Amino acid sequence: MNPFDPSTFNLPDLSAFGRTGEKLQGMGQSVGENLLTFSRMQIPPQELARIQGEYLKEAAELWNAGLQSGGKVSLPKDRRFATAEWTDNPASGFAAASYLLNARTLMQLAEAVQGDEKTRTRIRFAVQQWIDASAPSNYLALNPEAQKRALETRGESIAQGVQQLVNDIRQGHVSQTDESVFEVGRNVATSEGAVVFENELFQLIEYKPLTAQVHERPMLFVPPCINKYYILDLQPDNSVIRYTVEQGHRLFVVSWRNPGDDMAAFTWDDYIEKAVIQAIRVVQEIGGSDTIDTLGFCVGGTILTTALAVLAARGEQPAASVTLLTTLLDFSNTGILDIFVDETSVRLREMTIGADAPQGPGMLRGKELAATFSFLRPNDLVWNYVVGNYLKGETPPPFDLLYWNSDSTNLPGNMYCWYLRHTYLEDKLKVPGALTVCGEKVDIGRIEAPVYLYASREDHIVPWDAAYQSTKLFKGPRRFVLGASGHIAGVVNPPAKKKRNFWTNDELPASADDWLAGATSVPGSWWPDWADWLAQHAGKKKAAPKAYGNRQHKVIEPAPGRYVKQKV
């Protein structure tokens, strides 16, 4: 969920991978040529010779196996080539096996390149992109499954695929689900509530209590502004919002406006002062409490923490508790996203959509963000749908999570560039006093509230060991919990499903690995653990309110409100 564009790569001259004739156009170029061009990228000669020898040996074995079995070859396990159309067709099977051999060899070469770690990571990423794009399954002329379907449907699958391709070109992204099935407010984002405040940046939604009594301290959720908030309210049975309300909390949620070009000049300071700090004030006023419980998800957690640090600098401590879900505050390890960030790429953004742009600030388009995140997992989120939608003419099945994933949002260029430079590039948020936000020196250590930190073990956007570093920034009571799965699936894991597990450890050693070594695995969802912790900080129970808002902040419209329905 972090906003970067592949076009900002400041890669080394990767065209060298194919410079023995023309650029690499696929896997058809001879491996001999590839070996030669990789040698120009400082691969140790001994390692290059080893890889070359292994390739020639495996290629000979593949050829001989094909001759001895009448053309059929044994394919390694790969879901792209798992059907009988691939395994029973000698030509297709051999093409798939040759592709997989070439792919393995190219990745071995990429791994063997010498250089600094960032350059090597970029090379591996770029090579993997080329490998995934050139799979024979991605092309009608080489895909026997798509060809068989075309024959069975008398060409109807091809016609349907072309129609879906045209539709996707019009909408600007590859369809990952049947988007016609879903509608925000009808079958996603359906928890009952009302908008009780709005300004140019956000709407504040108050949710209807589901218990006769509620905790005296209200709660505020700050979701990421680079996505729609309803990832926390997809369906009633997997809604973090509904679950929180069911635990007896009077809940308020920030619904970010999807900014248009008129908001391009909005800054990080605006998102802190005019959005999160304003939301805290309104929740305090409606809830009648000086202190509130708070939760931030992903970049929403970064924004929330910054806002609380600004208030702490002003002598205010409005948070009775802080929950941060898959949030980066220490940006020394940003995982795969680090390949997109260096001084050159950040400066380019500042000069095109940031404050230094000659024509004035612009926008980071939501479709750029969506494409970037999809290509972090191209086989699952891009080529899988290219094959199904276009080559086979299949309509992808309805899936609420993928509908949300396609419902992208813009970001003001000024705000985005500040975030990119001062966190991902310079990593200053963790340094006391290094950043000035809203006129105040930011020091996370001045936030006095107890903190619950959640990370997901397979998260490729916020590496869990990077999220663990936040334990060193807060000075008050801290609890760190590690969930299974990834950035979204790890968070959205309702107890009723009885899926996955999580790890707990009351000790907080300096090393994340040491924490995990001493942790205990607990089956099921982490939500009940969090609910028990939160109840300790939410205050005593009182009668649930019978109406939304108060005299000052009246109902504007029913939830989910207008802002979440705005498309990019």
User: Tens digit of pLDDT for each residue in 506-560?
Assistant: 999 999 999 999 999 999 999 999 999 999 999 999 999 999 999 999 999 999 9
* SS3 assignment, position 210: coil
User: Tens digit of pLDDT for each residue in 104-123?
Assistant: 999 999 999 998 888 899 99
Tokens of 316: 């205010």
Asked if 225 is an active-site residue, the reply is no
Average pLDDT over residues 365-378: 87
The full set of domains in the chain, from first to last, is 6-146 (no CATH), 193-365+410-565 (3.40.50.1820)
Average pLDDT over residues 332-344: 92
Distance CA 307, CA 429 (A): 12
* SS3 assignment, position 205: strand
pLDDT at 36 over 70: no
Distance CA 511, CA 501 (A): 22
Bridge partner residues of 251 (DSSP) = 219
**Which pLDDT score, from 0 to 100, does residue 41 have?**
63
**Which pLDDT score, from 0 to 100, does residue 372 have?**
84
pLDDT at 379 over 80: yes
* SS3 assignment, position 395: coil
Distance CA 71, CA 58 (A): 16
Tokens of 218: 């209200």
Strands 440-441 and 436-437, bridge-based pairing? antiparallel
Strands 451-456 and 202-207, bridge-based pairing? unpaired
Distance CA 455, CA 464 (A): 5
**Which pLDDT score, from 0 to 100, does residue 148 have?**
96
Average pLDDT over residues 446-467: 97
| Residue at token pair 């300071």 | 269
Distance CA 8, CA 300 (A): 24
**Which pLDDT score, from 0 to 100, does residue 64 have?**
87
DSSP letter at 397? P
Distance CA 451, CA 248 (A): 20
Average pLDDT over residues 247-265: 96
Q: Are 266 and 416 in contact (CB under 8 A)?
A: no
The model's confidence at residue 275, banded by pLDDT at 50, 70 and 90, is very high
**Which pLDDT score, from 0 to 100, does residue 66 have?**
75
Distance CA 507, CA 221 (A): 27
Q: Cβ-count burial of 559 within 10 angstroms (0-12 exposed, 13-18 middle, 19+ buried)? A: buried
Q: Taking the C-alpha atoms of 282, 325, 528 and 255 in order, what is their torsion angle to the nearest 10 degrees?
A: 40
**Which pLDDT score, from 0 to 100, does residue 24 have?**
30
| Residue at token pair 């395994």 | 87
Cα 218 from chain centroid?
Answer: 28
pLDDT, the chain, mean = 91
Edge-first strand order for the sheet with 478-483 is 520-523, 501-504, 478-483, 451-456, 319-325, 292-297, 219-222, 251-256, 202-207, 193-198, 557-558
User: Tens digit of pLDDT for each residue in 165-190?
Assistant: 999 999 888 999 999 999 999 999 99
pLDDT at 28 over 90: no
**Which pLDDT score, from 0 to 100, does residue 515 have?**
98
